[in-house]
Structure 1
Amino acid sequence: PEVRAETRRAVVVEVDGATVASGEVVLKPVRHLTIYLLPHSHTDIGYTQIQTAIQQKQVQNLLDGIAAARRTADYPEGARFVWNVEVLWAADLYLHRLDASQRAEFFDAVKRGQVALNGMYLNELTGLCRPEELIRLFRFATQIERQTGVRIDAAMISDVPGYTWGTVTALAQAGIKYFSAAPNYFDRIGSIMRDWENKPFWWIGPDGHSRVLTWIPFWGYALSHRYGRLSPRLIDDFFAHLDQHDYPYDLAYFRWSGHGDNAVPDPAICDYVRDWNTQYVWPHFIIASTSRAFHEFDQRYGRQLPVVRGDWTPYWEDGAGSSARETALNRANADRLSQAESVFAMFDPQSYPAPAFDAAWKDVLLYSEHTWGAWCSISQPDNPLTLDQWAIKRGYVENADRQSRKLLADALSRGSSQTIAAHSQAVDIWNTLSWPRTDLVSLNPELSGAGDRVVDDHGQPVPSQRLTSGQLAFLARDVPPFAARRYTVAAGTPWVETRATADPAFSQTRPTPFGGAVDSGTVRAAVDAKTGGIVELTARGLRGNFVDTREGEGLNDYLYLLGDQLQDLQHNGPVNIRLGEPGPLVASLIIQSAAPGCNQLGREVRVVAGRDYVELIDTVDKQRLEATNYYANDGKESVNFAFPFAVPGGQIRLDTPLAVMRPELDQIPSACKNWFVVGRWADVSNRQQGVTWVTLDAPLVEIGDLTARLLNSQTNPEVWRQHVGPTQKIYSWAMNNHWGTNYRAYQEGRVVFRFILRPHRHSDPAEATRFATAFSFPLLPVCARGPQPARIPFLRVSPPDVTVITLKPSDDGRALIVRLFGASGHNRSARLDWGEHRPRALFLSDTSERPCRQIGNQVTVPGYGVVTLRAEF
């Protein structure tokens, strides 16, 4: 019976009729607490075993979970087994691999509530995602909802600490409002558990209104790893934890992930819960789904929960720097898939191969998934388990590379009938973005064999130049959004409008320390003769030098650190500076040197005549770090490129997927500050002027100093950086092997890192987004066939600070999907103007791609918010 008031009872112990002990016990009322218990298996795709074995195991776990739910179907309510599918990758495998009768059993179990589906496809490193990749992380949830008829409104993520701010937006777009975040409870997590364990809150998205109820449970996802089984000791410890933290609610939950990662279901909890609930009134246990637990909590306490707004800057994305080549390739794969989808939408939406795109996107997601390799990847880097797991992980990237290239080529081939003879000297230049573009285009020799002169569709010459690679570069002007212009290649002298120059002998013409300079006529960069870094960056109409050289660093300086002590920081050796491209359209300097950690370091500094930016193309021919012990200080390395900007009082802003954030100011408590993950750009601006910095290949940055120096396991929250002060310094953290498990111990071979520098006037996040995105979505040349393409945009969106981040055919083949993003951070009323093909109806939609509410051609787009539309023709 329930103890309702403190009661004292005498206790006597007798043996053979004789009293051997006596005393008094105090019975106290037990807290009225309902505890929801969520069974699941933490999905590591690899790590404990090779990935193929994990595939089989997680499919079997689903079969076993269904069987356990059936066996306990007659247990009392609350004691019946429920199998939470942590990530939907397992359900996807199940549905693809098993027969019709087993699929029917799965659907029946979902409908009965015996199997609970959670919305995330994988335990993703969300900071690595491109915008559409982050949306795609929840796409399968909306697809399987249709098959089961059961709404998915909750998501789990396990092990991973920290999540990019746009995750809230992506969750909201998928109709998910509950987020069970259960990180690793001790290693490389900063203060996440200290700050947020059992402190549920509403996490507000970058748009200011999207929100998700976020709740980290006791011991994260690993409670069952710690205790092994349900027991009075566990319950006592749980109550002590709640009391210690003044937990104010009478409803709680914890995860039960079995005995280790990739564990099998543990139906023994059903007997324990049945017996406990029979014997005791409080606490009361209920085995449940994430959705049920969070829904009950929301109903009772949702209105009184704290509201938190900001980026939960993640911690584990740093490991992606251990495979820098593949990380760069995956970023490009995601962007190429987005471009290919747009081309299909413009050219031939009825032929859109949705299954092929689905497979390619899943490979992109699988690379960004948190399991990089084997548990012994650092201790035994050449163990067959390590090598075999890495081969599969790398295979995701290479598959996505092949698939994305094939899909883009297929899409482009549909631009005009292949039966029409090609114009041997003409190319159509297609713009797959939602604003007009003037950008450099490079044609391979097959498309430019007629000569070096280029004229536009009005017969006017445009600047062109044959590059040292054999490609023909020209400036395509005013290419309309989602449309094309035709250009013709002819024999003759290339037309010169303004001249770009590169002078490797600059130091010989003046008594300066410069080893050379490039000048576009709009922007100029001078290179240091000793280091090869940029020590002067100036722009016409803007004040001063944008390089802060006070501490001896220049822009794009190479910095190599063996271990974690800054006194051991090394630089490249003496440089050889020579002319690369001579102009007049493209001019560049090539800077070569020996460098620690490299077989050779090559850096190219390039400008385009009349354009207002400087391109940096850094080629690291990485030397394998040979170490007897990859845990030791001399077994750890990092490659960095410095960018100390001189923008007095400048504020740094970072582009992240579906958001823009300011370090420190837009971070929630426990967010990582030692390193940050950048989508496309960073910007340093004061009220008058600034610089936009674009990174195409390397996502990791350090702000203010080389602060990414925490090696191996790190369990003390106090060692992590607590604050980011005012600064205008950015360091690209291009490569590292700092982890003690999972990620790679070494990397080698040729890796290219590309950066762009653009001085500008006032800060404009939307302009930074447009500028940076253009480098990832290049203008696409297609061999011209038939009549000239109409210059009427397929779709135009205004105002220009509302950008189209997705244009694709719907998977059902009956519509186009348009995703809009409020890139300026200000709420806008956006207008859609269609070209020759106008939709008969336009609907608000979401990740499901279903029509929701019909609208006209105008829609409100929140600042840093996403609106998905479905256009039916």
Structure 2
Amino acid sequence: MQALNKKWKIAVLHHSHTDIGYTARQEKIERYHIDFIRQAVEICELVENGSKPEWQGFKWVCENFWPVERFLAKSDSVLIEKFEAAVRRGDIELTANYLNMTDLINQPVLQKNTEKSFAYAAKLGIQMRSAMIADINGMSWGYAQTLVDTGVEHLFSCLHPQHGMFPLGRKQIPFWWEMPDGKKLLVWNGDLYHLGNNLGLVPRALDSYMLQDEFQISAIMDNHLEIAETRVFRYLSQLEMDGHPYDFVPMMVSGLITDNAPPSGHIVSFIRTWNERYGDQVELEMMTLGEFFDHVQRQPQEIPVYRGDWPDWWSDGVGSTAAATKLFREAQRQLEQVRRLDPKGIHTDAERMKEAEYQLTLFAEHTWGYSSSVKEPWNSLVQTLGSRKEMSATRAHQIIYDTLDEVLAAKGEAQLAVDLPFRYAIINPYDHAIEDMFKLHFDYWEQSLFTRDFEIVEEESGEVLPHQLLTIARGTMICVVAKLKPKEERKLFIRFLTTVTGQTISSVQLRGTDGVSDIATNFGQEGTRNPAEIRFDGTSIESAGVKIAWEAGKGITSWIAKETGMNLIQEDTFSGAFTPVYEVSPVASKEKMVESRVSMGRNRKGPHVKRSVGNLTGVREVTNGALFASYEFDYEVQGISYYSVLITLYTGMPRADVQVRMHKDSIWQPENVYIGLPFQASQGEVSEDLWLEKTGAMIRAWKDQLPGTNTDYFCIQEGAVATDGGYGVTIAIPDTPLIQLGSLDFKKRLLAGDTALRHETKTMYAWVLNNYWETNFKATVGGFYEFDYHIGWDSEYADPRQAMAWCHRVNAGSIGIRLQA
């Protein structure tokens, strides 16, 4: 036993880590957690009635509110009454965090989830002060702001350092986390959530996950106390050598060595035995989070203050289920559209909306599949749990779109009927004015009516709007551009013309009868060309506001904004805009599939990773009209059998819409797919910020971050904005939330606060696919995908909030409906 320099107190915090779908079926996990609360109530009752005096001092921390909510829904009144009595006594503690979430969840849904726990605490007449996160490696600044705004005072973090890392460069210390609005949250930057089990504080639940020593460990051992003595004293001795400023430390414990573990009264018995033998040197005490934080705040040491985002190292699972993630994000976005269109809920079913929010929450929860997903991807349970996870996104999507249909029907949207009039409504659901392209649909059996000329007329003013046709799978879209005031709705109709407009060859069109446009566009008399025309010459696309050029092989390397003459694409990047980058880390045999991934650490790839950058093989014009023109770029790249980029430019707006389409090969080896987004708002020495939105908070990547946090990638909400103070480029990203920054090379990772970041370029990629995790990511990401992006460039986007509002709007899409009458 190692000698210690001071007497220590260990705060034992007893909980069950909630992982929905990692260790068993999701509905089985729900049953487990309901029963865990029942067991905790039973233990408290045995202590109260004197049946188990040796368990006196038992405390149970409800890690999340979700198990409590499920317990209340599935238990009888007698059991609920006993539970609530234990909560009021302080034997069982409620906490505010609904589940351990990824940054996929948006702020409105998060706030509603957090409010549930506070509403229940208020019903019981108790004050809820604390929240905790376990396993996940951080939470966004906006997430924390929402907790604080709802009433949370303390946050306990017991993250998992596999493929992640503790912030601040050390653990087991507190800090004040200052929010974007200046409010503060007291955080304990803790250790692994099974640390107490590792050190031997839990009888029949011992392991060596975090420790390497002389003991050959199994969960149940006769010399349990001897192992605990050795490990606890070693751990505390190391804290002393590390200059730990306190004489106490918290340790989380679970009743068994597993996620989703039951409570155990035997821990209290062990604490009594320990204190009788070692209590004069190291005292153990079971506490709630509230009691622990009260102890922290009684200490004389000054607690440091830090400000900024805490990117989660474990948010990358979303890239292993890209199709379902896209579905989730669309559903979550359209839920907000429903709220805007029907703010009083007149045409929405409140219970169905709650169910949709619940399903969104289950999908955004941090568990990304069964524990052996990579080891045995053919396993029925692996397949089942993966399908159940994705079903939550599908179910939410279905409910929300069904509700959206109800709301639009109330606004007059037509159902299928014979002889429908060609009358439409375009709607601005926002509190600010918008200019957008609206798409008005007619069906394929009506196309013969449109062989004659027609106009799009605004009913009230009689204004004729320019239009352009766009063919889709089951019909045609008539595209019009319009400006709408806040909350404005305008009615449009189609007026067919009796005259037929003939066409002949333009006297100023520099194109041969072979159809090839290969004459320089600046030749000839000035002013003879339509200034709104978008021109394509095989090497570039040019409109009145922008010129986009590319290099054979490398792809799009030039995006010149004519307003400034600046190239909006960074120089010296190995990937052009929207060029695919594919990585695979070779594995010698299927037996090494798991082992090879474990050793990747925080690089998300192996040291011998093979990288392939897309080779641009051809560009063609798809359509060109009065409002927009579209061009398809074809690429060849390893691991992807088909990859194309469709770029649409507009004649009157500084905007491009991009659709990336691919057929990804099915590969078991660890791999990544990135899409180049090397946009910039400045050149030369001008300082530039890259703004990201995370759960409602705006952050500057590499600047607004806690020290020692992840700088490689971020899980964002709606987009990214590059600004230099006077100009901005905004990238709306509806489908693929992971943004990778900087070098893709395998190397030592740079954390926030590292001075070496000053010499790094924030080259941006959309990290769209990955399967590198060794346990519960999908083992293959093969299949067909389509991912959308929207690019805007203008001086008005120098305001990052205004630019992000644009991202929200274009991602949600414009609203144009055909009317019944």
Residue 737 of structure 1 aligns with which residue? 771
Structure 2 CA distance, aligned partners of 1:423 and 1:434?
A: 32
Q: Deviations over 1:76-116 (max 9, x none)?
A: 89942222111122122222222333333333332232321
Residue 599 of structure 2 aligns with which residue? none
Residue 490 of structure 2 aligns with which residue? 485
Residue 161 of structure 1: how far off its partner (Å): 0.9
Structure 1 CA distance, aligned partners of 2:771 and 2:4?
A: 54
Tell me if structure 2 keeps the 8 A contact 1:183–1:221.
Answer: no
Pick aligned residue for 2:788 from 754, 758, 765: 754
Which moves more between the two structures, 213-222 or 502-511? 502-511
Residue 222 of structure 2 aligns with which residue? none
Residue 508 of structure 1 aligns with which residue? 518
Residue 567 of structure 1: how far off its partner (Å): 8.0
Residue 546 of structure 1 aligns with which residue? 568
The one-letter code matched in structure 2 to 1:270 is V
The one-letter code matched in structure 2 to 1:98 is S
Residue 834 of structure 1 aligns with which residue? none
3-state SS, counterpart of residue 518 of structure 2:
helix
Tell me if structure 2 keeps the 8 A contact 1:505–1:516.
Answer: no
Q: Compared with structure 1, are the counterparts of its residues 101 and 544 closer, same or farther at alpha carbon in structure 2 (3 Å cutoff)?
A: same
**Unaligned residue ranges in structure 1 (runs of 5+):** 1-24, 496-500, 711-715, 787-873
3-state SS, counterpart of residue 468 of structure 1:
strand
Tell me if structure 1 keeps the 8 A contact 2:66–2:98.
Answer: yes
Q: Compared with structure 1, are the counterparts of its residues 520 and 459 closer, same or farther at alpha carbon in structure 2 (3 Å cutoff)?
A: farther
The one-letter code matched in structure 1 to 2:188 is W
Residue 587 of structure 1: how far off its partner (Å): 1.1
3-state SS, counterpart of residue 321 of structure 2:
helix
- Pairwise mapping of residues 222-261 of structure 1 onto structure 2 (< 5 A)? 222-227=195-200, 229=202, 231-258=228-255, 259-261=257-259
TM-score, reference length from structure 2: 0.82
Residue 766 of structure 1: how far off its partner (Å): 1.7
Structure 1 CA distance, aligned partners of 2:544 and 2:753?
A: 42
Structure 2 CA distance, aligned partners of 1:58 and 1:440?
A: 49
Residue 527 of structure 1: how far off its partner (Å): 4.0
3-state SS, counterpart of residue 767 of structure 2:
strand
Tell me if structure 2 keeps the 8 A contact 1:580–1:587.
Answer: yes
Residue 569 of structure 1 aligns with which residue? 611
Tell me if structure 1 keeps the 8 A contact 2:568–2:682.
Answer: yes
Residue 704 of structure 1: how far off its partner (Å): 2.6
3-state SS, counterpart of residue 181 of structure 1:
strand
Structure 2 CA distance, aligned partners of 1:674 and 1:763?
A: 24
Residue 502 of structure 1: how far off its partner (Å): 15
Residue 407 of structure 2 aligns with which residue? 411
Residue 807 of structure 2 aligns with which residue? 772
Tell me if structure 1 keeps the 8 A contact 2:12–2:285.
Answer: yes
State yes or no: 1:381 paired with 2:363.
no
The one-letter code matched in structure 1 to 2:152 is I
**Unaligned residue ranges in structure 2 (runs of 5+):** 204-227, 502-508, 523-535, 586-605
Tell me if structure 2 keeps the 8 A contact 1:507–1:516.
Answer: no
Residue 184 of structure 2 aligns with which residue? 211
TM-score, reference length from structure 1: 0.77
The one-letter code matched in structure 2 to 1:148 is L
State yes or no: 1:679 paired with 2:717.
yes
Q: Compared with structure 1, are the counterparts of its residues 132 and 28 closer, same or farther at alpha carbon in structure 2 (3 Å cutoff)?
A: closer
Q: Deviations over 1:26-52 (max 9, x none)?
A: 999852x54432111111112222222
Structure 2 CA distance, aligned partners of 1:475 and 1:254?
A: 62
Residue 434 of structure 2 aligns with which residue? 437
State yes or no: 1:330 paired with 2:328.
yes
Q: Deviations over 1:511-570 (max 9, x none)?
A: 999735444533332344545x32321223222322234455421112212224688322
The one-letter code matched in structure 2 to 1:745 is A
Residue 281 of structure 1: how far off its partner (Å): 5.5
Q: Deviations over 1:318-370 (max 9, x none)?
A: 2211111112221111111111122221xx53554222112111211211211
Tell me if structure 2 keeps the 8 A contact 1:518–1:587.
Answer: no
Tell me if structure 2 keeps the 8 A contact 1:190–1:717.
Answer: no
Q: Compared with structure 1, are the counterparts of its residues 782 and 768 closer, same or farther at alpha carbon in structure 2 (3 Å cutoff)?
A: same
Pick aligned residue for 1:559 from 581, 599, 620: 581
Structure 1 CA distance, aligned partners of 2:370 and 2:100?
A: 16
Which moves more between the two structures, 428-437 or 328-337? 428-437
Structure 2 CA distance, aligned partners of 1:760 and 1:119?
A: 42
Q: Compared with structure 1, are the counterparts of its residues 226 and 612 closer, same or farther at alpha carbon in structure 2 (3 Å cutoff)?
A: same
Q: Compared with structure 1, are the counterparts of its residues 459 and 44 closer, same or farther at alpha carbon in structure 2 (3 Å cutoff)?
A: same
Residue 772 of structure 1: how far off its partner (Å): 0.7
Q: Compared with structure 1, are the counterparts of its residues 552 and 189 closer, same or farther at alpha carbon in structure 2 (3 Å cutoff)?
A: closer
Residue 525 of structure 2 aligns with which residue? none
Residue 225 of structure 1: how far off its partner (Å): 4.1
State yes or no: 1:113 paired with 2:97.
no
Structure 2 CA distance, aligned partners of 1:685 and 1:61?
A: 51
Tell me if structure 1 keeps the 8 A contact 2:645–2:660.
Answer: yes
Structure 2 CA distance, aligned partners of 1:502 and 1:225?
A: 77
Q: Compared with structure 1, are the counterparts of its residues 167 and 72 closer, same or farther at alpha carbon in structure 2 (3 Å cutoff)?
A: same
- Pairwise mapping of residues 162-311 of structure 1 onto structure 2 (< 5 A)? 162-184=138-160, 186-192=161-167, 195-207=169-181, 209-227=182-200, 229=202, 231-258=228-255, 259-276=257-274, 280=279, 283-300=282-299, 304-311=302-309
Pick aligned residue for 2:317 from 306, 316, 319: 319
The one-letter code matched in structure 1 to 2:379 is N
Tell me if structure 2 keeps the 8 A contact 1:676–1:702.
Answer: yes
Structure 1 CA distance, aligned partners of 2:672 and 2:393?
A: 24
Residue 129 of structure 2 aligns with which residue? 153
3-state SS, counterpart of residue 129 of structure 1:
coil
Q: Compared with structure 1, are the counterparts of its residues 479 and 646 closer, same or farther at alpha carbon in structure 2 (3 Å cutoff)?
A: closer
Pick aligned residue for 1:523 from 546, 557, 562: 546
Q: Deviations over 1:743-784 (max 9, x none)?
A: 111112221121222222372112211211111222323444
Residue 599 of structure 1: how far off its partner (Å): 2.8
The one-letter code matched in structure 1 to 2:158 is A
Residue 802 of structure 1 aligns with which residue? none
* Higher strand proportion (structure 1 or 2): 1
Structure 2 CA distance, aligned partners of 1:283 and 1:76?
A: 22
The one-letter code matched in structure 2 to 1:223 is G
Structure 1 CA distance, aligned partners of 2:515 and 2:564?
A: 26
The one-letter code matched in structure 2 to 1:471 is T
Pick aligned residue for 1:455 from 449, 457, 475: 457
3-state SS, counterpart of residue 424 of structure 1:
coil
Residue 625 of structure 2 aligns with which residue? 583
Tell me if structure 2 keeps the 8 A contact 1:85–1:116.
Answer: yes
- Pairwise mapping of residues 622-701 of structure 1 onto structure 2 (< 5 A)? 622-625=664-667, 627=668, 630=669, 635-643=670-678, 645=680, 647-648=682-683, 649=686, 650-701=688-739
Q: Compared with structure 1, are the counterparts of its residues 690 and 350 closer, same or farther at alpha carbon in structure 2 (3 Å cutoff)?
A: closer
Structure 2 CA distance, aligned partners of 1:257 and 1:717?
A: 32
The one-letter code matched in structure 1 to 2:470 is L
Residue 700 of structure 1: how far off its partner (Å): 1.5
Tell me if structure 2 keeps the 8 A contact 1:502–1:588.
Answer: no
Structure 1 CA distance, aligned partners of 2:462 and 2:38?
A: 67
Residue 297 of structure 1: how far off its partner (Å): 2.3
Structure 1 CA distance, aligned partners of 2:421 and 2:191?
A: 68
Task: Give me the CA root mean square deviation.
Answer: 3.5
Residue 639 of structure 1: how far off its partner (Å): 3.5
Structure 2 CA distance, aligned partners of 1:35 and 1:77?
A: 19
Residue 293 of structure 1: how far off its partner (Å): 1.7
Structure 2 CA distance, aligned partners of 1:27 and 1:768?
A: 59
Residue 162 of structure 1: how far off its partner (Å): 1.9
Structure 1 CA distance, aligned partners of 2:83 and 2:336?
A: 33
Residue 268 of structure 1: how far off its partner (Å): 0.8
Tell me if structure 1 keeps the 8 A contact 2:12–2:196.
Answer: no
The one-letter code matched in structure 1 to 2:807 is A
Tell me if structure 2 keeps the 8 A contact 1:464–1:494.
Answer: no
Tell me if structure 2 keeps the 8 A contact 1:110–1:117.
Answer: yes
Q: Compared with structure 1, are the counterparts of its residues 245 and 643 closer, same or farther at alpha carbon in structure 2 (3 Å cutoff)?
A: same
Pick aligned residue for 2:31 from 51, 56, 74: 56
Structure 1 CA distance, aligned partners of 2:431 and 2:413?
A: 25
What is the percentage of aligned positions where both structures have the same residue? 22
Residue 69 of structure 2 aligns with which residue? 92
